């Protein structure tokens, strides 16, 4: 299911790059400078003998701290002899696409995705547009422990801006929608979370013919993900009803997550949207689908009824991608809204995923509700409990007992999952099954046991 190979110690890279609160380790200007230098040296060594200097693309979301981090990364790469191309605010999947299209050595995204503005992060794509392999991240971490150096002046990297990066990405997104279809007659609300997609997503849908109502498109450096976007969809639902739209599309701060709302304001998460895409593609033969430990059991059962194989990866889109490539499958995703269509892109892309759903609706003539009617989701309750960093919940007998009691209460009609967040100091408590009252009580009981354990 992916993960770090034995013997590889990663102190900084998590499930989605390096992430943290700006001003605190590791998200300081000093560390970012050293990270740029270490990554640059690894890239230079891997590109050795090619003649030209390696080159990387740096994109970012709309957080105010992006300016500082971009400058520090640029300096680190330059010191290591790596050229830098700057594209400004662009969704994470847009950076992945341009890295591949421009034949670069790597692409770097400055973003903390769905986190609040006070956090930021750095994730790196390899030259083929896929997330950087664990082995390369381990190499970078090893160099981070050594003193930073600087190439001689004649061998420093140069920096330049990329012209029309957003326009190129818009055209790429449009190319993933069937040429025989358009979106004329559709009114869509597009919520960009005041994030990286604010200047590109509305254009994609508008240029395909839709009447677009844009919300969450006024970033000020501090409002990313604040009451807008895929993690706060209430504004989307209200706007769909107010404007009598056919559908609502909500992205997160870096544009790789997708949540949708239908004309009645009902929400559809990543599991439901992935099912809509898979069901539409089933006529072309879908070999299998990858989900995660958090994927609703109903999706697994619905795919089984259609004779489609299903496998669960660890939580994190990088692990979904690893398992897809291992099995040679094309479609996978997370209930949080990361959806991967490997026949369209190398990574999860909220805009591209929305276009695949819209293509399914166009071809079938169905609504989202009709297309997913046979997917009856099990009630799933997720409680996030703040815990100290490094908290070992398995060492606390009271938590284990609470988990066992919860599993007993479900009477074989559900499942319980406890897992630490890969990006925040949280223990995620998930209970799934039926009836809902039992599920909710089970989740609350375990969460309380965790809180007592951290307080004691």
Torsion of CA 263, 265, 269, 273, to 10 degrees: -10
Sheet of 247-251, strand order? 211-215, 187-191, 247-251, 258-262, 267-268
Question: What does the alpha-carbon distance between residue 41 and residue 82 come to, in Å, rounded to a whole number?
Answer: 8
Please tell me the distance from the alpha carbon of residue 223 to that of residue 116, in angstroms, as a whole number.
8
Q: How far apart are CA 200 and CA 202, in angstroms?
A: 6
Residues in the chain: 456
Phi and psi torsions of 180, nearest 5°:
-80, -10
Contact 318, 13 (CB under 8 A): no
Do 452 and 408 meet the contact criterion of CB atoms below 8 Å apart?
no
Place of tokens 């055209």: 171
Other CB atoms closer than 10 Å to residue 47's CB: what's the count? 17
Beta bridge partners, 288, equal 309
Helix (H) or strand (E) holding 84: strand 83-89
Q: Rg (Cα) of the chain, in Å, rounded?
A: 22
The question of whether 65 is a catalytic residue gets the answer no
What 3-state class would DSSP assign to 408? helix
Q: Pairing relation of β-strands 426-433 and 380-386? A: antiparallel
| 64 close to 117: Cβ distance less than 8 angstroms | yes
Of the candidates 105, 113, 126, 199, the residue annotated as catalytic is 113
d(CA 220, CA 233): 20
Virtual torsion, Cα 228, 195, 321, 27, nearest 10 deg: -110
Instruction: List, by residue number, the catalytic residues.
Output: 113
């Amino acid at each position: 299911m992916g993960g770090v190979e034995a013997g590889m110690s990663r102190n900084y890279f998590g499930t989605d790059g390096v992430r943290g609160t700006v001003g605190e380790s590791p998200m300081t200007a000093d560390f970012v400078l050293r990270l740029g230098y270490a990554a640059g040296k690894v890239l230079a060594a891997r590109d050795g003998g090619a003649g030209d200097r390696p080159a990387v693309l740096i994109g970012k979301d709309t957080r105010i701290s992006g300016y500082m981090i971009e400058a520090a990364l640029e300096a680190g790469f330059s010191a290591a002899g790596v050229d830098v191309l700057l594209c400004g605010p662009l969704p994470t999947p847009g950076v992945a696409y341009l890295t591949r299209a421009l034949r670069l050595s790597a692409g770097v995204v400055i973003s903390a995705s769905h986190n609040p503005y006070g956090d930021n992060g750095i994730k790196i794509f390899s030259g083929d547009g896929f997330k950087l392999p664990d082995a390369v991240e381990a190499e970078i971490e090893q160099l981070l422990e050594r003193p930073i150096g600087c190439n001689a002046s004649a061998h420093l990297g140069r920096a330049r801006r990329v012209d029309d990066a957003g326009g190129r990405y818009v055209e790429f997104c449009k190319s993933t929608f069937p040429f025989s279809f358009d979106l004329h007659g559709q009114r869509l609300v597009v919520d960009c979370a005041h994030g990286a997609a604010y200047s590109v997503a509305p254009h994609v849908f508008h240029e395909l013919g839709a009447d677009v109502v844009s919300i969450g498109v006024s970033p000020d450096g501090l409002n990313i993900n604040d009451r807008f976007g895929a993690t706060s969809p209430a504004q989307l639902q209200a706007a769909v009803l107010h404007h009598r739209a056919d559908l609502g599309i909500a992205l997160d701060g870096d544009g790789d997550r997708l949540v949708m709302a239908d004309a009645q304001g009902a929400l559809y998460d990543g599991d439901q949207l992935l099912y809509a895409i898979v069901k539409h593609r089933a006529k072309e033969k879908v070999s299998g689908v990858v989900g995660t430990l958090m994927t609703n059991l109903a999706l697994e059962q619905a795919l089984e009824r259609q004779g489609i194989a299903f496998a669960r990866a660890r939580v994190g889109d990088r692990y979904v991608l690893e398992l897809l490539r291992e099995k040679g499958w094309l479609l996978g995703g997370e209930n949080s809204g990361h959806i991967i269509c490997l026949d369209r892109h190398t990574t999860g892309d909220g805009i591209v995923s929305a276009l695949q759903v819209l293509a399914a609706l166009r071809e079938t003539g169905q609504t989202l509700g009709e297309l997913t009617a046979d997917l009856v989701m099990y009630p799933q309750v997720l409680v996030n409990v703040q815990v100290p960093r490094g908290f070992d919940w398995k060492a606390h007998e009271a938590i284990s007992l609470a988990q066992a009691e919860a599993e007993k209460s479900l009477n074989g009609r559900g499942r319980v999952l406890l897992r630490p967040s890969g990006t925040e100091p949280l223990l995620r408590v998930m209970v799934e099954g039926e009836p809902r009252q039992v599920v909710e009580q089970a989740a609350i009981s375990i969460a309380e046991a965790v809180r007592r354990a951290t307080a004691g």
